[in-house]
Amino acid sequence: MPTPSRLASMAWVVFATACSGAEPPPPGITTLAADPEPYVRTSARPGATRPAATPAPNAQGTRGDPWPDTAMTPFARAVARVVFAAMEGQPWPADSPLTVGRPDGQPRIEVADGQPPAGALRVLCFYAEVECSFPATTPTPPAPAPGVPPPPAPGGPAVGNLELGLLLCGTGLRVVEVDEDPGRVHEPLPPGAAGIGRAAAEVLAAFALGRGEELLLRESDRDALGGDPLFQRAMRERLRPDQLARVQQAAARHGQPTGFRLDDMGIVALDAQGPIGLQIDVEHSQGQIVLDGPPFVRVRRFGR
């Protein structure tokens, strides 16, 4: 299934445009306080541990959420608590599935356009990119015609990874992005994040059965995305029937994933000025999912 670009790239790129590394932030990006020591993106330092934490207040997190019970809901709620702990300068939650691999210095957040969230925030959605890998298989070449020498043996196993953009909102789990790329074989997720791997496997199983249409955004999701602006932009990028068919064929061809890798994640919330994205980046190191920062949360207002 050739995909020179993502089959669906939508408003959620708010989460993917955050600056990283030691370079100065691009125009329009400000930080809330000076970083006490420069940050350079590298592998997580050996032996990284979670800072002192306070017990999680309840299963819903500090702000509640509209999410139904799904395989990924506990993980989404745990990540939401991490995001708001960073936003408010609070200790990291005790149940955090993410390890902090860098010094926890200010700034914890970075804000686009210099406009922090206005007033109370209402949680709308959780977004995550999940790359799924599959057992390596060596394709069987077609039998050569009589008198034609056989083709050379393939150089190695053929592995095609499927990356899913998963959105959890008040109306359920939705697929907003799909991409297929060659990639390395990943490992199972650590226990604290296993639920999102199960959710990705369930999504791929539904696609393999030809039921992918049921997981795409629809009119009934409008209010769950905070109204027209975000919903209309999302619907413009909805998988077309031909794209959906290719994705379903790829899911059937691959079967069940055996490894996963998480990339960009974040919360879509609503403040007094409209929907915003609270994005985090993570890395994988030594069997842990490492929260990339500081800054740990990048705030991006949709439409800017």
pLDDT at position 194 over 90: yes
Q: Which token pair is 265?
A: 């994640």
Going by their DSSP bridges, the two strands 172-182 and 259-271 should be labelled as unpaired
The mean-pLDDT minimum among 87-91, 148-152, 172-176, 278-282 falls in 148-152
| Distances, alpha carbon 84 to alpha carbons 64, 109, 286, in Å | 11, 10, 26
Say if CB 269 and CB 117 are below 8 A apart: yes
Q: How far apart are CA 293 and CA 276, in angstroms?
A: 20
Assessment of whether the complete model's pTM goes beyond 0.95: no
Neighbours of 21 (CB within 10 A): 9
When pLDDT is cut at 50, 70 and 90, the band that residue 229 belongs to is: confident
| 106-141 as b/e: b if 16+ CB within 10 A | ebbbbbbeeeebeeebebbbbbbbbbbbbeeeeeee
- Mean pLDDT in residue range 227-255: 87
One-letter amino acid identity for 226?
Answer: G
- Per the prediction, the chain carries an average pLDDT of 76
**Residue range 9-23, pLDDT digits in tens:** 433 443 433 333 333
- Mean pLDDT in residue range 286-297: 90
| 172-190 as b/e: b if 16+ CB within 10 A | ebbbbbbbbeebeebeebe
**Residue range 120-172, pLDDT digits in tens:** 889 999 999 999 999 865 444 456 666 655 554 443 344 579 999 999 999 99
Q: How far apart are CA 204 and CA 254, in angstroms?
A: 9
Neighbours of 291 (CB within 10 A): 29
